[in-house]
């Protein structure tokens, strides 16, 4: 429901007058929102909860991000020829492993990748362990989509600044 609420608010402010909202104006709003976000904003979601991962992927794609999902740690492609994410959203518990174990191979491939942790299990020890492992931010499921998007946008601002400083 939270995803729908945010999506609804982000699409329908196209026309102030409710009578002016047509299916065409909704499509224009979606296209405009997508055009605002740089095409190079690639995100990898690693979560064993397929429903959550697919919902988050669809939501982020509507926001204009290029998104790939892996439903287990062994499905992540660390090769140089595969999908090259700028950010990764990692679930804490991934079956027999934990999402924090993926940080090292992801940063080996892309030292500037920003990793975020999402988990249904919230405790201080997990948060401290995650931050020490290199997680940029920590989210508890279900996600507050407004706060999540704000944090994600800040992550990409940081990535954009890093790219500009290299050039």
Q: In 6-130, at which residue ranges do the beta strands (DSSP E only) sit?
A: 42-46, 66-70, 87-91, 93-94, 97-98, 114-119
> Would you say residue 67 has pLDDT above 90?
yes
User: Whole-model pTM?
Assistant: 0.74
What mean pLDDT is reported for the chain?
A: 80
Q: Which pLDDT score is estimated for 32?
A: 42
Lowest mean pLDDT among 56-60, 78-82, 109-113: 78-82
Mapping DSSP onto H, E and C, the string for 107-138 reads HHHCCCCEEEEEECCCCHHHHHHHHHHCCCEE
pLDDT band at 121 (very low <50, low <70, confident <90, very high): confident
Q: In the block, which residue shows the tokens 């362990």?
A: 129
Q: Which pLDDT score is estimated for 167?
A: 62
Exposure string (b/e) for 119-157, b if CB count within 10 Å is 16 or more? beeeeeebbebbeebebbbbbeeebebeebbebbeebbe
Query: What is the rounded average pLDDT of the residues 125-134?
Result: 91
Instruction: Give the contacts of 122 (CB within 8 A, at least 6 positions apart).
Output: 140
Query: What is the rounded average pLDDT of the residues 80-109?
Result: 91
The residue count for the chain:
167
Query: If we measure between CA atoms, which residue out of 140, 84, 151 comes closest to residue 112?
Result: 84
> Would you say residue 6 has pLDDT above 80?
no
């Amino acid at each position: 429901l939270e995803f729908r609420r945010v999506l609804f608010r982000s699409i329908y402010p196209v026309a102030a007058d409710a009578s002016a909202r047509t299916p065409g104006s909704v499509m224009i709003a979606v296209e405009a929102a997508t055009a605002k976000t740089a095409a190079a904003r690639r995100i990898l979601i690693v979560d064993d909860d397929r429903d959550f991962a697919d919902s988050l992927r669809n939501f982020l794609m509507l926001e204009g991000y290029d998104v790939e999902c892996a439903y287990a740690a062994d499905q992540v492609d660390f090769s140089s020829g595969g999908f090259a994410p700028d950010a990764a959203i990692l679930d804490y518990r991934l079956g027999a492993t934990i999402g924090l174990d993926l940080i090292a191979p992801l940063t080996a491939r892309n030292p500037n990748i920003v990793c975020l942790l999402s988990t249904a299990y919230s405790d201080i020890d997990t948060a401290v362990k995650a931050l020490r492992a290199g997680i940029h931010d920590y989210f508890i499921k279900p996600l507050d989509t407004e706060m999540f998007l704000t944090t994600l946008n800040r992550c990409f601002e940081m990535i954009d600044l890093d790219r500009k400083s290299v050039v």
